[in-house]
Structure 1
């Protein structure tokens, strides 16, 4: 049994994770602990407070007791707002507090896009434009070309959690660009897991979403490879040989 530990901010789309667990198979368990988000706002100061070391450290003891082998901060905006170096320090602090390998959804996007061997990506974000652009900057720091950024101006995770299939597909289509090799949809408050194969069929290219890459990143840290086509192209590729 492989136990994956996730720290999830508040309550919005956490029901994506039981679905992921079911699709991954019976020998993988996804343990999720909710963190205190403070102010629910897609604003830089609020997001930096949401991802503070103290808030993340408060949830790790429960994951340790559950037997988690790795922990991922299941939040994109609460990690990339620190910038490339700051986000690295955030996960280093989380690893020290947890006593196990750690990462975040933001780095999950970077590692997943590298896994798919894509370099040109389009971003479809629920966030306001200024926050969406910070994610684009993070991706550029990771070596990617961002073909375009589509922000939606949504101020709270609670509102994002109410979005359904129509809003999701509209966002993905509006974000897509002919030069993009993949479309990235950040925000773990957005329900996406039920729609991954349909999204990829609709756009004709890989789609990476926050809850999907969070689970994949946790598996990567735990050194597990799972073939799960219902979770999109990311879960159907052979492992890459790392130089």
Structure 2
């Protein structure tokens, strides 16, 4: 059985993570992607509120209908967490009403992934400036997840985050290897990460959750079919729901 999880992905950055994720899942899942419109590419609160506004997401959702998705993800961390806990849920509720299928976002996927692994403490290694990254920590806190340490790298745009290579992503992950944290969270779907999750976990000695990884996992969870795989870190090994 195949399942289709539609992705609403803002602009361009690490969208090539998604074909890799399809392959790593063994071909049972399709993740068609629609690029939603972007006003100003900036890791600034006002720009991110504009990025995640209803008009942009509903326009993208209309384009996804042709893929007949079983579930849909707003594949953006910052463009969801800046709306806060209630706002992030309202954001996906509007898309859900338009498409009639389950919908979530990357920020909410991080919450569900941490809960699925039964963790309560995390560290965050963020690409964003500190004032933006704090909104992510606040959303996690609202969900009952304690952020023990938050490190910000002050990368100004999604495009620049997308330029980080293997060594840059590894250095970012290592920048917040908080010993007491049960997992390291690396938000930003513009950041390449999917190919290196197992390596990141080996380097840090604990689970690592990255934006594109948790986005696909959450979409599959909503669609009701997650196969276990050893290629995508602890999350897909220990928090997969095997089909009956």
CA contact (8 A) 2:5 2:32 kept: yes
Deviation at 1:62? 2.4
* Preserved contact between residue 127 and residue 153 of structure 2 (Cα < 8 Å): yes
Distance in 1, matches of 2:137 and 2:227, equals 28
CA RMSD across the alignment:
1.0
The alignment partner of 1:59 has SS state of: helix
Q: TM-score, normalised by structure 1?
A: 0.97
Greater displacement, 58-67 / 173-182: 58-67
CA positional deviation for 1:65: 1.1
How do residues 125-144 of structure 1 correspond to structure 2 at under 5 angstroms? 125-144=126-145
Q: Secondary structure at the match of 1:58?
A: helix
In structure 2, the partner of 1:164 is 165
Structure 1 counterpart SS, 2:203: helix
Query: Which residue of 1 is the match for residue 232 of structure 2?
Result: 231
Deviation at 1:104, TM superposition (A): 0.2
Aligned positions of 1:57-68 closer than 5 A: 57-68=58-69
Q: 1:230 to 1:239 in 2, by over 3 A?
A: closer
> What is the CA distance between 1:238 and its match in structure 2?
5.0
In 1: Cα distance, 2:96 partner to 2:129 partner: 30
Cα separation, 1, equivalents of 2:89 and 2:179? 32
CA-to-partner distance for each residue in 1:195-240, whole Å, 9 max, x for gaps? 0001001111000000000000100110112111111100011558
Give 5+ residue unaligned stretches, structure 2.
none
Cα distance between partner residues in 2 of 1:49 and 1:39? 8
User: What is the number of residues matched between the two proteins?
Assistant: 240
1:139-187 per-residue CA deviation (whole Å, 9 max, x = no partner) reads 0001111010010001100101100111111111111211100000000
Larger deviation, residues 36-45 vs 57-66: 57-66
Give the drift of 1:38. Answer: 1.0
Partner in structure 2 of residue 191 of structure 1: 192
Partner of 2:34, secondary structure, is strand
Asked if the contact 1:57–1:98 (Cα under 8 Å) also holds between the matched residues in 2, the reply is: no
Matched, 1:113 2:114: yes
Question: Structure 1: how far apart are the matches of 2:117 and 2:38?
Answer: 32
Question: Contact 1:4–1:218 (CA<8 Å) still a contact in 2?
Answer: yes
CA distance in 2, matches of 1:31, 1:239: 21
Q: Distance in 2 between matches of 1:26 and 1:164?
A: 26
> Equivalent residue of 1:212, what SS?
helix
1:98-119 Cα offsets, whole Å, 9 max, x none, are: 2211000000000001111111
- TM-score scaled to structure 2, two decimals? 0.96
Aligned positions of 1:40-51 closer than 5 A: 40-51=41-52
**Cα separation, 2, equivalents of 1:85 and 1:28:** 30
Q: State the match for 2:88 in structure 1.
A: 87
CA distance in 2, matches of 1:238, 1:29: 20
CA–CA separation in structure 2 for the residues paired with 1:104 and 1:171 = 23
1:185–1:207: 8 Å Cα contact kept in structure 2? Answer: yes
Find the counterpart in structure 2 of residue 212 from structure 1. Answer: 213
Map of 1:124 onto structure 2: 125
Runs of 4 or more off by more than 4 Å in structure 1? none
